[in-house]
Structure 1
């Protein structure tokens, strides 16, 4: 009980009373419970996605099955403030390594280029060439505006039924 008194006394006077009054308000309670329900639902969905994609996510190159094509999901080369985007660098390094190890034979780089001067696929292609991947082994997909677009286009436009998605773990969990 003493701990509760200490916590209560650590707030400026009136804050705890205002908080109680707010919770007593019928609409505030509904809003609070709705917010908590959405938060719990989101957490459960996230855990469900992670548990159901575990067998399809690989972090070890040795256990990764060979595929004809690798799909690199787009991201901007430089982050805000001109800093390098490490997500971009890691995706390029992973794709180049998979290509050199023979895990994939061809790479589709999928990203956005709807604004002049913003061209994710060309940036990824240039970075892959700099890593030693031949230009004739890279296909550019300029309409990968979001993850779902990239995956659907890889299947329907580029005719791939089985391919390796190359991105970060959290991104791949959504993509598969």
Structure 2
């Protein structure tokens, strides 16, 4: 059985595509990605994640949004860009929290628990990414569910799909070798 298939199978019962079916949670963990492609066009993965988080918030399925992404340099800040777009979608700034050290999915999931105090949350990303995040959550005894943002057409996201296969292998190695998040730090309350 391939790692790819195994991860998908282990998480399938906790992934939702319809807002009215997903159980409510206090916090939605919005996984970061870049807003723009190298061509300068908007990244559809980004656009659809913003739409999904907005939909969950407006329907009352989450009360707060924790944006976890890369802020590795002064010119690159996934959480801040996502926050601005959520505010433009009428989500109150007070209900948005930023995790600037979500350099990878392992960091995002564990920091949501260890820094932001969440043992239960809703992951928001595309299905392939949600499966990996949920697998990590299950491994660390976190009660998470996931909401799938709209996916992109195969030819648009082929490079991302191939990268995901490698990311799942790396995830298994990280778990085997007990890799920790790059940064931890002081607790932050979401309230």
Give 1:159's match in structure 2, choosing from 117, 131, 138. Answer: 117
Residue 94 (structure 1) aligned with residue 52 (structure 2): yes
- Greater helix content: 1
Give 1:121's match in structure 2, choosing from 67, 70, 79. Answer: 79
Aligned-pair CA distance for 1:62: 1.2
- Greater strand content: 2
Residue 138 (structure 1) aligned with residue 96 (structure 2): yes
Alignment correspondent of 2:188: none
1:51-90 map, 5 Å:
51-90=9-48
Aligned-pair CA distance for 1:52: 1.1
Deviation sequence 1:138-160 (CA, Å, 0-9, x none): 00100000011000000000000
1:105 match: secondary structure: strand
- Once superposed, which parts of structure 1, at least 4 consecutive aligned residues long, lie more than 6 Å away? none
Size of the aligned set, in residue pairs, is: 134
Unpaired runs of 5+ residues, structure 2, are: 135-191
Deviation sequence 1:11-55 (CA, Å, 0-9, x none): xxxxxxxxxxxxxxxxxxxxxxxxxxxxxx6xx111111111110
Alignment correspondent of 1:175: 133
Unpaired runs of 5+ residues, structure 1, are: 1-40
CA distance in 1, matches of 2:13, 2:67: 24
Alignment correspondent of 2:68: 110
Aligned-pair CA distance for 1:60: 1.0
CA distance in 2, matches of 1:52, 1:146: 20
Larger radius of gyration: 1
TM-score when normalising by structure 2:
0.69
